[in-house]
Structure 1
Amino acid sequence: MATIFSKIISGEIPCHKIAETEDFLAFLDVFPCAKGHTLVIPKKEVDYIFDLEDDLYLGLMAFAKSLAPAIKAAVPCKRIGVAVIGLEVPHAHVHLIPLNSMADMDFSDKIKISQEELSEIATSIQKEL
């Protein structure tokens, strides 16, 4: 059964896309820990990040790294945090989260954000790429 991320990749479910390559997609989390919280995923559906083939795993991390400076430039923060939890969606993914404090990485404390604001943030990050 296709995951929600696979449905986003296919265009079945819309997203606030940040960047895309042949193998990877980055988009804003609609239930973010902080403004600018970005999900980075491989297009290949693999449940567990450490089950990715080495090339795909390294490519995913390099793609995530390439996005961090743009997120930091678009969303005022001290740095971009990286998290891999792997329990929420059975599709390997990396969280890039703008941090000003450790509390910004609290996955049990999501912020509410409008679709309009998500669109504005996505556009701001894209302009920095």
Structure 2
Amino acid sequence: MSSVFTKIISREIPAHIIAEDEQHIAFLDISPLAKGHTLVIPKKETDLIFDLDSEEFRNLWSFAQKIGKKIGKAIPCIRVGIAVVGLEVPHAHIHLVPLNTMGDLNFINERLKLSPEEFQEIQNAIINA
């Protein structure tokens, strides 16, 4: 079940990677709802998040928590929202989205179009938080 996320993990396509360990990777969403919108995924190819075994599930959320805290420090926002939707890419993933209003986490909102420089600036800010 190879997906665009598999290609990011294997470095076949570029991504603005925020953090990585042996089991997980976090990178900026290429079509973000807000500046700092980050995807956190397991490296193991799993379509549905609830198909992860219990330990993998806990570890993914623990990794996401670390990334969410960094986003909250780096990006001006009231809080970092969390969503698990999984309809657009068949690979389990968690969306971490900086929020200032309830509407900021609406996936039918128009997505931001950021320049490569803006992505790089956001990536650096989160990494250095």
User: Does the alignment reach a TM-score above 0.5?
Assistant: yes
- CA deviation after TM superposition for structure 1 residue 24, in Å: 0.2
- CA deviation after TM superposition for structure 1 residue 111, in Å: 1.5
Separation (CA, whole Å) in 2 of partners of 1:75 and 1:35: 7
- Render the CA deviation track for 1:74-107: whole Å, top value 9, x for unaligned: 1000000000001110000000000000121011
- Render the CA deviation track for 1:22-64: whole Å, top value 9, x for unaligned: 0000000010011000000000000000001111111000000
Separation (CA, whole Å) in 2 of partners of 1:37 and 1:8: 16
- CA deviation after TM superposition for structure 1 residue 20, in Å: 0.2
**TM-score for the superposition, normalised by structure 2:** 0.97
Matched with 1:4 is 4
- SS state at 1:125 partner: helix
Q: How does 1:1-129 map to 2 (within 5 A)?
A: 1-109=1-109, 110-128=111-129
- SS state at 2:118 partner: helix
Q: What is the CA RMSD across the aligned residues, in angstroms?
A: 0.8
**TM-score for the superposition, normalised by structure 1:** 0.97
Give the gaps of 5 or more residues in structure 2. none
- CA deviation after TM superposition for structure 1 residue 114, in Å: 1.3
Separation (CA, whole Å) in 2 of partners of 1:72 and 1:30: 19
Residue-pair matches, total: 128
- SS state at 2:70 partner: helix
Give the gaps of 5 or more residues in structure 1. none
The runs of at least 4 consecutive aligned structure 1 residues that moved more than 4 Å come to none
- CA deviation after TM superposition for structure 1 residue 116, in Å: 1.4
